[in-house]
Structure 1
């Protein structure tokens, strides 16, 4: 089981307290010898305090993917963001090469045409960059128009500080996912011409509670 926690001692202490309550109710205890904490972008002093609050060990991540070596629990969040982008671009590159390969196979259409719907002459294949923008728009809609759900309420209370998602400015402390949402927000506002128009547009994409 993986539990993701904010990088501060109170959040870790809350999780540890919940695990202790779970153990008290059901008799299932976390095996300290097999439980580790993995850190990204955490100050060493804070990291040591979090370890002391839980009694867990500092886990080590060691793997290599797409030429990016990651070894050490103290790998920065920026490196993970870079890795995610490399993975997305590589998947789309492999996908595109397979369908547009001009060697011994039949030459297919251009990638942008392949991603069109069937009725538009394409293969109805999702372009990952466009699909990711669409998913970011869904999160933007949730943050702008709803208050339901732990993800939404946590972001609105702790990261947005109850500011409107349409006006909040990106900060270094924001997660890569929230930064991505704000980037798509700016693209949408530029496309629609104003925040009001963008809000109306994204609201029109929701029907009966489904985006």
Structure 2
């Protein structure tokens, strides 16, 4: 259980009195040995008075509550280790089970997004972690970039867009997905810088 209070003696005393009333009514007591007090913006003298009043020990940040890291300022990447480890193990388990595309979508919607939303509803996720979650979902569905031409993404591009055409001859169209248009734009820029498409083909 987590109890929040203002950093002054009257507020802390009111919180402890309320806990005592709760203990009397429910026969549930606070285990002082497993309970710590955390402070922010409190002077050393007042902190010592509060610790003496409550009999608690001072805890240090970060600590975990319901599996989530609690810290008074912005979390560093390393503090999201619980989330990244769970996502990594989930990816490895799903990839080893050879799920169908429908099964992968179900995993992404119910588990991966659920895990990310659980964290996101309690703490502010950094942009890097949001990108990590999106990348994990993308790799689970489309396949890892390490899989090369065997990935679902490459198969989709070849089947629906390239067909019988070469990537060197494919013209950019507005309805193409952004990822494919980005590849084609990079292709054309490279060709302009290196003296033509034929020269790029010869270099590759």
Question: Which TM class, normalised by the smaller chain length?
Answer: 0.3 to 0.5
After TM superposition, the score normalised by the length of structure 1 is 0.37
TM-score (norm 2): 0.38
The structure with the larger Rg is 2
